[in-house]
């Protein structure tokens, strides 16, 4: 296994994979910044020593693992004798790195989201086709798909247990602000390095919270409604209500509310927020003619009637650690010679988030097909250099932000 992106999520994903299956060996690690590597090595080694002491050195040996840094770190790692790579860098780099992974023909686990804009979405769909042609196994980080609890309730929904779905809502409202940590201010807020290091606070690096985080909840709704279903129209609202100073804490919104017209009278309401000390809620809700489904990865999953009486409650034993199960699924497929490719599921859900963001930024209502066919939005610069300044446009203003 090779790890690309050695921040918190990358080291977490490596530990999740090791927890799922100890018959792996992490042999290479790559990150743009060399200072990320010592802490990542320590975290992975400490995890192995704690959970799998007898096998720890076989799974991960810090003294022999190869490390690569700088802009070509992904390319260099892919030259090594690795079967599988974990790609967990800031979202803007997911698509260009996947292009290199496909070229190298390596199996891959790609963190969510799939991309940050429509331009990357088109590219990663084409890359998915090439990965399929090469027989590569690709699993993505929309981990609820690998939760036994979610799988159970989805089967019930698809079998008609709540009847015809009439309305849907999803939420990721947090009492925090991702990217709100201090440090690196001496680099200057408009420096490329500052913005990559604090990627969660900037639009071009993260795609904003609706894309980077809320895509999990949108993905659950797409799973329930059918992955090939798409909105007819999109109308979004949002702003930056937090008083965390900009540009120190980036340029993104702190809340979004999006109304997706899914056709046939069905509407999906999407809500996400990151405002410190606000009320939190994470979950998904489907209203059907026979019942209501509510799901929360961190809470309870159940079906109730309209008066709140619970008709079915998920067995807690089924709520396994899906962040390990997604890796087990990938490793089993590779070893058994089964081709799996989950990219398009994540791309479809990411596209809803992208469209919602575009509508909220601009204040405009538009057809979803316009985004797919006409939009040229692109956040990733053709050339990125750490010593350069990154243009600063400020927080988007609805009514002024231009759709492209």
Q: Tell me: the pLDDT tens digits for 215-269?
A: 999 999 999 999 999 999 999 999 999 888 888 899 999 999 999 999 999 999 9
pLDDT tens per residue across span 267-288: 999 999 999 999 999 999 999 9
Given a cut of 90, is residue 388 above it in pLDDT? no
Radius of gyration of the chain (CA): 21
Work out the average pLDDT over 154-173.
98
* Residue pair 236/269 in contact by the 8 Å Cβ criterion: no
Per-residue confidence at 318, pLDDT binned at 50, 70, 90? confident
- pLDDT exceeding 90 applies to what percent of the chain? 91
Angle between helix axes 94-104 and 118-133 (nearest 10 degrees) is 20
What value does the mean pLDDT take over residues 334-348?
Answer: 97
Q: What is the pLDDT of residue 68?
A: 98
Mean pLDDT of the chain: 96
Taking the complete model, does pTM exceed 0.85, yes or no? yes
Interhelix angle for 8-20 vs 322-336, to 10°?
60
pLDDT for the residue numbered 319:
67
The Cα–Cα gap between 180 and 352 comes to 26
Q: Read off the pLDDT of residues 187-226 as tens digits, 9 standing for 90 and up.
A: 999 999 999 999 999 999 999 999 999 999 999 999 999 9
Q: How many CB atoms lie within 10 A of CB 44?
A: 25
What percent of the chain lies above the pLDDT cut of 70?
Answer: 100
Residue 328: per-residue pLDDT? 97
Q: CA–CA separation, 264 vs 282, rounded Å? A: 27
d(CA 97, CA 103): 10
Asked whether residue 320 carries a pLDDT value surpassing 70, the answer given is no
Counting DSSP H helices and E strands in the chain, the numbers are 14, 15
pLDDT band for position 65 (cuts 50, 70, 90):
very high
Is-contact 107 84, C-beta < 8 A? yes
Report pLDDT digits (tens) over 66-88: 999 999 999 999 999 999 999 99
Q: Tokens in use for 132?
A: 């399929």
Is the pLDDT at 338 greater than 70, yes or no?
Answer: yes
How much is the pLDDT for 181? Answer: 78
| Residue 6 phi, psi dihedral angles, 5° rounding | -110, 30
Token duo for residue 197 = 């290091």
């Amino acid at each position: 296994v090779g790890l690309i992106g050695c921040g918190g999520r990358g080291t977490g994903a490596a530990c999740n994979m090791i927890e799922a299956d100890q018959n792996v060996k992490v042999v290479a690690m790559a990150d743009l910044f060399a200072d990320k590597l010592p802490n990542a090595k320590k975290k992975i080694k400490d995890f192995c020593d704690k959970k799998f002491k007898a096998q720890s050195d076989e799974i991960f040996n810090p003294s022999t693992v190869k490390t690569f840094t700088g802009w070509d770190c992904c390319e260099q790692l892919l030259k090594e004798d690795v079967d599988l790579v974990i790609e967990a860098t800031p979202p803007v780099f997911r698509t260009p790195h996947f292009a290199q992974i496909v070229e190298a023909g390596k199996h891959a686990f790609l963190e969510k989201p799939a991309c940050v804009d429509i331009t990357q979405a088109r590219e990663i769909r084409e890359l998915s086709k090439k990965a399929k042609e090469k027989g590569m196994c690709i699993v993505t980080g929309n981990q609820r798909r690998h939760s036994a609890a979610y799988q159970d309730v989805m089967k019930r929904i698809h079998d008609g247990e709540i009847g015809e779905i009439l309305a849907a809502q999803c939420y990721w409202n947090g009492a925090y602000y991702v990217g709100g940590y201090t440090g690196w201010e001496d680099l200057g807020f408009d420096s490329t390095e500052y913005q990559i290091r604090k990627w969660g606070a900037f639009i071009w690096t993260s795609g904003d919270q609706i894309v980077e985080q809320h895509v999990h909840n949108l993905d659950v709704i797409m799973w329930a409604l059918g992955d090939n279903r798409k909105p007819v129209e999109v109308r979004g609202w949002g702003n930056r209500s937090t008083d965390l100073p900009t540009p120190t804490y980036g340029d993104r919104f702190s809340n979004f509310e999006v109304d997706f017209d899914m056709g046939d009278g069905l509407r999906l309401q999407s809500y996400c927020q990151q405002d410190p000390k606000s009320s939190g809620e994470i979950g998904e809700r489907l209203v059907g003619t026979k019942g209501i489904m509510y799901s929360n990865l961190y809470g309870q999953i159940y079906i109730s009637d309209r008066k709140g009486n619970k008709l079915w409650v998920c067995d807690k034993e089924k709520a396994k650690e899906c962040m390990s199960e997604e890796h087990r699924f990938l490793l089993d497929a590779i070893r058994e010679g089964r081709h799996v490719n989950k990219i398009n599921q994540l791309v479809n859900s990411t596209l809803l988030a992208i469209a919602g963001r575009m509508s909220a930024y601009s204040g405009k209502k538009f057809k979803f097909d316009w985004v797919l066919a006409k939009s040229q939005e692109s956040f990733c610069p053709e050339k990125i250099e750490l010593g350069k300044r990154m243009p600063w446009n400020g927080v988007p203003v609805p009514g002024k932000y231009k759709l492209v």
